[in-house]
Amino acid sequence: MKESEIREAIVSGKTVLGIELGSTKIKAVLIASSFSPVASGSHDWKSTYENGNWTYSLEEVWSGLRDCYRNLAEDVLRQYGVPLITVGCMGFSAMMHGYLPFDRAGKLLAPFRTWQNTSTAQAAAELSELFQFNIPQRWSIAHLEQAILNGEEHVARLSYLTTLAGYVHWQLTGQKVLGIGDASGMFPIDSEANDYDARMLAQYVRRNAPRGYDWTLREILPKVLLAGDNAGCLTKAGAGLLDPTGNLRPGIPVCPPEGDAGTGMAATNSVAKRTGNVSAGTSVFSMVVLEKAPGVCHPEIDMVTTPAGAPVAMVHCNNCTNDMNAWVELLGEFTAALGAPAGADVLYPLLYSKALEGEPDCGGVLICNYLAGEPITGVETGRPLLLRSADSRFTFANFCRASLFSTLATLKVGMDILAEEHVALDRLTGHGGLFRQAGVGAKLLAAATNTPVQTMKTAAVGGPYGMALLASYAADRCTGERLEDYLQNRVFRDAEVHTTQPEADDVAAFNAYLRRFKACLAVEKAAAAV
């Protein structure tokens, strides 16, 4: 679009806005009819560890949102010379799961417990057994049940339980609703009914009845909405919360709030069945859209949904590039000691390119990249390891290749479970730091999963862009298009996409590495005592 066309779209309110509250940044993206970002804003923040919980205060939520929006409005004014007064639709997303309990007066009963907390093991295990459905520790229902098991007095006064995105949406619109993707991280979803699973709700009611609370679970959970559903409008009070200057007009439609997994699916055009995406940075997770929900419960697989309600299998791994990042820092210190300092912008491309020169099986070099524990492989405490036999070829290229193989080894463990369940997968889209270096990450992911891997430029924009696309879909919902068709036929129709096909030799080499990686886990577990 020309600058004059963008300016006119801003003035006439024909843009859409997506804002996402991530773990380290709050980001805003404004898009126009071309679906390309035309302005952005951000705010840095981080969680704090208080009284045994990772948390953010509600004051931080609002000060961060206001700063992010102010930066966006300033970007609009700087680029186009007009104030940001209104948009056609807006939407808010955030890190999924966690625990935000409120009383009838809307007062927070306990500090926000984020997805980072791992204090709900007992509740998660008991609920998984009750439902015969995997309940991860970070899910809202696990946090609630653990609070009950702990005898926390605030539970008796509970009136509403929601996620961070649901809370922000509630305060800005007055509506206690949640997009189905985010809701699927609160309580299991029935993708046929597009609502909380009725059988499991009834099971929980029976479990909870003897405790004597005057609430039922359905009463305190947000109403479930699909992408494109009416989720209310920005109120006068909500506009003031977001933009204290008074420039932002109330009455703007607000689409259903979503979780960061759902916005990642939208941003990578991965909401259709038999597609998926892999986000790989400090941690790594895959989201695979299923043709039908599996009949078997696997503790390694989390079941969530797309923003349109289709079942999604999620493989979430705590460890990806952290150990490799530490090696890059060490190499940077080494080059500095030599008097020829090389920064990350030099060392990362070098590491990736040399990995392609390594022997297919890494020459016998093995790296286990666990800085943190890894539930998928049953490792409670991480200890990064580099192992090699006496006859291994310990070259720099083999070390680089082993480092990159290690970032995807645990993900492959989970993906292999899906393959054993005969889950059909036509393509994956890779995004995140692992995929920024000239196709190397895509080549290795294709080898690990034996699946074609796509990369695209817009995927780097991330969650707020995905949220903006969901807001755009809500604004255009009168067309009656399914979300997957809207994204494919309109948003990504002319997108620059590079596809990397798996190569048989690479697939065989990665499988060989994984066999040795699994054998190494006994050493990894023993190392925790050191």
Segment 72-80 mean pLDDT: 98
Q: Provide the pLDDT for residue 303.
A: 94
For residue 100, the cross-strand partners are: 162
How far apart are the C-alpha atoms of 87 and 322, rounded to whole Å? 39
Taking only the tens place, the pLDDT of each residue in 285-330 is 899 999 988 778 888 899 999 999 999 999 989 899 989 999 999 9
Indicate the CATH number for domain 261-317+414-501. Answer: 3.30.420.40
Average pLDDT over residues 415-439: 89
What b/e string do you get for 455-482 counting C-beta neighbours within 10 Å, with b at 16 or more? bbebbebbbbbbbbbbbbbbbbbeeebb
Residue 206 pLDDT > 60: yes
Residue 460: pLDDT over 60: no
pLDDT score, position 499? 93
Q: What is d(CA 319, CA 322) in angstroms, rounded to the nearest whole number? A: 7
As a whole number, mean pLDDT of residues 123-137 equals 95
Confidence (pLDDT) at 293: 81
478: pLDDT strictly greater than 70: no
> pLDDT value at position 461?
65
Structural domain spans, the chain: 261-317+414-501, 322-409+505-527
CA distance 463 to 278: 13
**What is the structure's pLDDT at 479?**
66
Output the CA torsion 365→371→372→375 (10° steps): -10
- Check residue 115 and give its pLDDT: 86
Asked whether the predicted pLDDT for residue 455 surpasses 80, the reply is: yes
The beta-carbon contacts of 125-128 under 8 Å, at least 24 apart in sequence, are 127/204, 128/297, 128/299
Residue 459: predicted pLDDT: 55
**55-88 residues labelled b (16+ CB within 10 A) or e (exposed):** bbebebbeebbbbbbbbbbebbeeebeeebbbbb
Pick from 100, 137, 102: nearest CA to 116: 137
**3-52 per-position pLDDT tens digit:** 999 999 999 999 999 999 998 899 999 999 889 999 999 999 999 999 88
pLDDT at res. 41: 97
Task: Give the model's pLDDT for residue 187.
Answer: 98
Number of alpha helices (DSSP H) and beta strands (DSSP E) in the chain:
17, 22
The percentage of the chain sitting over the pLDDT mark of 70, rounded to a whole number, equals: 98
- Quickly state the pLDDT bin for 156 (edges 50, 70, 90): very high
The 3-state DSSP class for residue 322 equals helix
Helix pair angle (121-131, 198-208), 10° resolution: 120
Check pLDDT > 70 for residue 54: yes
Q: What is the pLDDT of residue 406?
A: 96
Distance CA(226)–CA(231), nearest Å, equals 9
The mean pLDDT of the chain is 94
The pairing of strands 53-55 and 48-50 is antiparallel
Tell me phi and psi for residue 101, to 5 degrees.
-95, 135
Would you put residue 107 in left (φ > 0), alpha (ψ -120 to 50) or beta? beta
Instruction: Tell me the whole-structure pTM to 2 decimals.
Output: 0.89
Mean pLDDT, to the nearest integer, of 237-246?
A: 97
| Model pLDDT, residue 279 | 87
Q: If you average pLDDT over residues 406-420, what whole number do you get?
A: 95
> Is 514 or 495 the better-scoring residue by pLDDT?
514
Q: Is the pLDDT of residue 257 over 90?
A: yes
Report pLDDT for 327. 95
